[in-house]
Amino acid sequence: MRTALLQSSGRPGSVAENLKVLDEAAGRAAAAGSALLVAPEMFLTGYAIGGDIARLAEPADGDSADAIAEITSRHGLAIAYGYPERDGETVFNSAQLISADGTRLANYRKTHLFGRFERDHFTPGEKPVVQAEVDGLTVGLMICYDVEFPENVRAHALAGTDLLVVPTAQMHPFQFVAESLVPVRAFENQMYVAYVNRVGQEGEFEFVGLSALAGPDGIARARAGRGEQLVLADVDPAHLAASREANPYLKDRRPGLYGSLV
């Protein structure tokens, strides 16, 4: 399954402009044969927008979800994107996956909030594994800091995730996460990981780019630089099956020894 990674910070503070950026990227991705387009964490609104987070937050089935469903249907590919989700008076840092026919497939709320900024603006989610099927693959959702917890990713591996989609807002000086940790997570859990970042200066944060699609062999199939970029790479089910046979981490686990971890 060809997967497109949209490395961009869009236009912080403007939902309308970010929908235009997403529409244009979806057109390019679909023309290149992609079945899935992934946008970064909080792509719909921007990340470092302070009090505007609560003002711009929308329900999972809100107007922007409808607009993105129209984009997926028109271009014929699925889209995963980050956004601030409003549920009553509560705001979550969320990621939603919408299918190529406009169906809302999955919605995930970030479970591990990073730093005071996020804890000031969001409530953490409570469901660690959220999945849906896209083109015959089991796609899991996670957001940024979540992938840095090995237990989180292992839970996805045990639940059968083939491709873990991680919209992110990875900032300086933590670029080693994109460069080193993400490929290791893919290898130790025998899955593909699509890690899709923001770029440039935004408020107090400098986002480092370096988006990647890492394979189960720990090799990045595609790697973006530090600027705005659309990168493409393939998720190969046959390669995934062969790698899992050659690297049987999940079969060789001894869960009875791990009780102290919890």
Q: Does residue 110 carry a catalytic annotation?
A: yes
Catalytic residue among 58, 85, 118, 144: 144
Asked if 116 and 14 touch (Cβ cutoff 8 Å), the reply is no
Give the number of C-alpha atoms closer than 13 A to the C-alpha of residue 228, restricted to the C-beta side. 9
Catalytic residue among 85, 110, 118, 202: 110
SS3 category, 7:
strand
How far apart, in whole angstroms, are the C-alpha atoms of residue 196 and residue 168? 6
Catalytic residue among 41, 58, 85, 118: 41
Q: Helices (DSSP H) in 110-177: which residue ranges?
A: 115-121, 150-158, 176
Q: Does residue 144 carry a catalytic annotation?
A: yes
Q: Does residue 133 carry a catalytic annotation?
A: no
SS3 category, 57:
coil
Give the burial string for 53-92 (b: 16+ CB within 10 Å, else e): beebbbebeeebbeebbebbeebebbbbbbbbbbeeeebb
- Which pair of structure tokens corresponds to residue 25? 């990227």
Q: How far is CA 123 from CA 11, 42, 85, 217, 251, in A?
A: 24, 14, 10, 35, 35
Asked if 254 and 242 touch (Cβ cutoff 8 Å), the reply is no
How far apart, in whole angstroms, are the C-alpha atoms of residue 77 and residue 182? 25
* Active-site annotation, residues: 41, 110, 144
